[in-house]
């Protein structure tokens, strides 16, 4: 009971890449994992599928046309959570911590950028972090949330050979605005458990919760007036002991997330099996541009059969 499958999967890891699956803020949700792994003596590297145009990053190091390394001194005129995260992590860990920013591309270039980092840092485990739980959905649910960037990351990582690949999701209940049926999310977790792909769940408590709150508040405070993350705000509300409907950003007032202790749980899954069960990732594999990914996913969404809304009967 005190040792979960996720612990076994990471037991021999020396070099781990923690990557935000999408949206810029997803990597912020990975802070407790980054700090926790570093405390174990593991070499931790950080990456993000960025919503920031990476060519606009001032002071970044270009590794590939689709991959720019943001440091604690990198800047951009506006929205740039990765830059603020690099500053916070550098201060918290007492060493330089970069955030490698993937640009908006198709699966082929993103796969190549991941492969580049894996080889450069001798990565033996990749943890893709989803702020929210829509990455778990298979494709036939009532709503798929906002799957575009998560699907791009899952598809790219499904093509990787060698390193262990793990999907971590946090923020259960935060995607009410996207009309996700969380009863159907639990059904997906049950399916993955039946396939041996659910690796456990952990609560954000103690110093891990403190780190998440400190990083989240720091980054959100430096992004005022710009798009702020409902998921990060929801997780922080959960850690403060809030419960029920709570608007955590100005644009979540009309459809507030349902805050509960479930929101601050990290759920871990075998990424390869999540990808294998997905109904639409195969459509994305041969894409080169972000537009092609959007077109392929849009074609699936327009024609997909979907289930009706389901409630949790408890």
Query: How sure is the predictor about 142, in pLDDT bands with cuts at 50, 70 and 90?
Result: very high
Domain ranges (residues) in the chain: 12-303
The C-alpha atoms of residue 200 and residue 4 are separated, in whole angstroms, by 6
72-84 residue pLDDT tens: 999 987 899 999 9
The C-alpha atoms of residue 236 and residue 155 are separated, in whole angstroms, by 30
Q: What is the pTM of this model?
A: 0.96
Mean pLDDT over 147-168 rounds to 97
The C-alpha atoms of residue 195 and residue 70 are separated, in whole angstroms, by 38
In order of 18, 153, 221, the CA distances from 272 in angstroms are 16, 12, 36
Query: How sure is the predictor about 314, in pLDDT bands with cuts at 50, 70 and 90?
Result: confident
Q: Which CATH architecture has domain 12-303?
A: 3-Layer(aba) Sandwich (3.40)
Mean pLDDT over 109-119 rounds to 98
CA torsion sign, 113 to 82 to 126 to 192? negative
Rg (CA), the chain: 18
Find out whether 101 and 58 touch, Cβ atoms under 8 Å: no
Neighbours of 225 (CB within 10 A): 7
Q: Does the pLDDT of residue 138 top 90, yes or no? A: yes
Q: Does the pLDDT of residue 7 top 90, yes or no? A: yes
DSSP conformation class of 240: T
């Amino acid at each position: 009971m005190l040792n979960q499958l996720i612990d076994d999967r990471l037991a021999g890891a020396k070099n781990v890449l923690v990557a935000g699956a999408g949206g810029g803020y997803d990597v912020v949700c990975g802070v407790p994992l980054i700090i926790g792994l570093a405390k174990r003596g593991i070499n931790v590297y950080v990456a993000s599928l960025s919503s920031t145009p990476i060519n606009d990053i001032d002071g970044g190091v270009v590794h590939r046309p689709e991959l720019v390394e943001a440091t604690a001194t990198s800047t951009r005129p506006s929205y740039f959570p990765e830059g603020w995260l690099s500053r916070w992590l550098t201060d918290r860990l007492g060493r330089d911590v970069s955030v490698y920013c993937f640009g908006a591309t198709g699966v082929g270039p993103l796969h190549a950028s991941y492969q580049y980092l894996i080889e450069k840092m001798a990565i033996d485990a990749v943890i893709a972090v989803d702020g929210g739980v829509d990455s778990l959905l298979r494709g036939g649910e009532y709503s798929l949330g906002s799957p575009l960037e998560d699907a791009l990351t899952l598809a790219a990582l499904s093509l990787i050979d060698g390193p262990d690949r793990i999907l971590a999701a946090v923020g259960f209940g935060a995607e009410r605005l996207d009309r996700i049926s969380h009863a159907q999310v639990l059904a997906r977790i049950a399916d993955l458990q039946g396939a041996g792909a659910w690796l456990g769940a952990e609560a954000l408590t103690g110093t891990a919760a403190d780190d998440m709150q400190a990083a989240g508040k720091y980054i959100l405070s430096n992004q005022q007036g710009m798009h702020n993350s409902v998921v990060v705000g929801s997780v922080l509300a959960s850690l403060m002991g809030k419960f029920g409907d709570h608007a955590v950003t100005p644009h979540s007032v009309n459809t507030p997330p349902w805050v509960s202790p479930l929101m601050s749980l990290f759920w871990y899954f075998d990424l390869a099996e999540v990808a294998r069960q997905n109904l639409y990732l195969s459509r994305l594999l041969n894409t080169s541009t972000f537009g092609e990914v959007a077109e392929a996913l849009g074609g699936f969404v327009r024609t997909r059969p979907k289930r009706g809304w389901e409630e949790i009967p408890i």
